Amino acid sequence: MPHLTAARGLGADRDTLSLAPLVRATPTQLLGRALLLRCPHCGGRGLFASFFTLKQQCPTCGLRIERGESDYFVGAYLFNLIAVELILFFVVCGMVFVTWPDVPWDALTYIAGALMLAGCVLCYPFAKTTWLAVDLALRPLTPEELRWHHEGGDLGDRELPQL
């Protein structure tokens, strides 16, 4: 990962950062970093200001977390919903299987409701980083886009290349 060495110290030397070689991570690496709540692009820590709030840029590589789109995380909300629904499905099916034929339906209803609410909250940060990883896998970061992120470009400044 030679780009990580060159990418360190965002605040100190933006010019060196802009010239850092752009090494494309594999989809597995992107997803693994995202599940560890790290920047999928560089693996840097510190993406979150709080449990629910992402910083605007990765403190390590300078990637803007929303990639220059105001509605960027709509996909993350979908990922969160899908993840929680799948978790809930397997827990409920497992509980029915284990307690069959005397399934405690009332208890199962309350447990499922509590798990749904807790899952939405606990999976939220993972959904955001996972969505960023999927986006980087489908629409890889280009040197031009990374330069745009470092320069602090706004929407409408220029068209970024899309796949």
The torsion defined by the Cα of 56, 79, 135 and 5, in degrees rounded to 10, comes to: 60
Contacts 24+ apart (CB under 8 A), 150-159: 150/14, 150/17, 150/18, 150/62, 153/68, 154/68, 155/68, 155/69, 155/70
The pair of three-digit structure tokens given for residue 28, joined into one six-digit string:
């597995």
Distances (CA, A) of 33 to 4, 75, 122, 143: 14, 18, 17, 21
**In the predicted model, is pLDDT for residue 155 greater than 50?**
yes
Give the model's confidence band at 120: pLDDT under 50 very low, under 70 low, under 90 confident, else very high. very high
Quote the percentage of the chain above a pLDDT of 90: 58
Confidence of residue 16 (pLDDT cuts 50, 70, 90): very low
Q: Kindly indicate the confidence band of residue 7, based on its pLDDT and cuts at 50, 70 and 90.
A: very low
> What integer is the mean pLDDT of 13-27?
62
Q: Which of 71, 37, 36, 40 has the alpha carbon at shortest distance from 134?
A: 40
Contact (Cβ atoms closer than 8 angstroms) between residue 123 and residue 32: no
Average pLDDT score over the chain: 82
What's this model's pTM, rounded to 2 decimal places?
0.77
For residue 21, the model assigns a pLDDT of: 59
Is residue 11 predicted with pLDDT exceeding 60?
no
Q: Residue 112 forms beta bridges with which residues?
A: none
Q: With contact defined as beta carbons under 8 Å apart, do 68 and 139 qualify?
A: no
